[in-house]
Amino acid sequence: MPDAPAWPAGQVPPYPAPQPDRLTRFVVRLYERSPRWAVPLAALGCVAAGIGYALISDPTRSDPDAAPSCVLKLTTGLDCPGCGGTRALWYVVHGDIPAAARHHFVFVFALPFLAYLFVAWAGRQAFGWRLPELRFSGKVIGGFLAAWLAFSVLRNLPWAPFTTLYV
């Protein structure tokens, strides 16, 4: 923990410096004592759990009249920005990229970038690797988010050719 800033002689800070509570001290101690590879391994476990969920649940085989699991789709009938993501992941894991793109094109487009960013981060954290960094400007990130928003709106329009984006 960094020490509180030094105040000029004769001056009292306007408030007492907050002391960390027991939970914060425990988490900081645990982080300082954990091996370098623990956090990337935990993140990889979360990714594996998500892929495992997609494989076990097989979202491509749901009943046609089953209620949607997405609250937005259940209440409004509209596809949310993530609708089709689990099915797209299922198809990616099974190597069917065109079917994955049919269910969520933006997810499939972003997946290689996300995978590289994860490998670069985890490799640096766990093993000290220095892979070339992908640097995205604010304009690129804003453009991606705008494309995702446009995709989310267009897939809900009830006219051709947008009806092909229904999932």
Give Cα separations from 88 to 52, 58, 144, 152 (angstroms).
14, 11, 18, 15
**Mean of pLDDT over the chain:** 85
Determine if the peptide bond prior to 8 is cis (ω within 30°). Answer: no
Cβ–Cβ < 8 Å for 123, 129: yes
Average pLDDT over residues 105-123: 92
Please give the structure tokens belonging to residue 14: 């306007």
Q: Return d(Cα 87, Cα 118) in angstroms, integer.
A: 22
- The predicted-structure confidence for 118-137, as pLDDT tens digits, reads as follows 999 999 988 888 999 888 89
pLDDT above 90 covers what percent of the chain? 38
**pLDDT(66) > 80:** no
For residues 41 and 20, what is the distance between their CA atoms, to the nearest angstrom? Answer: 27
What pLDDT is stored for residue 70 in this prediction? 75
pLDDT confidence of residue 3: 60
At 79 the pLDDT is 80
The C-alpha atoms of residue 93 and residue 52 are separated, in whole angstroms, by 10
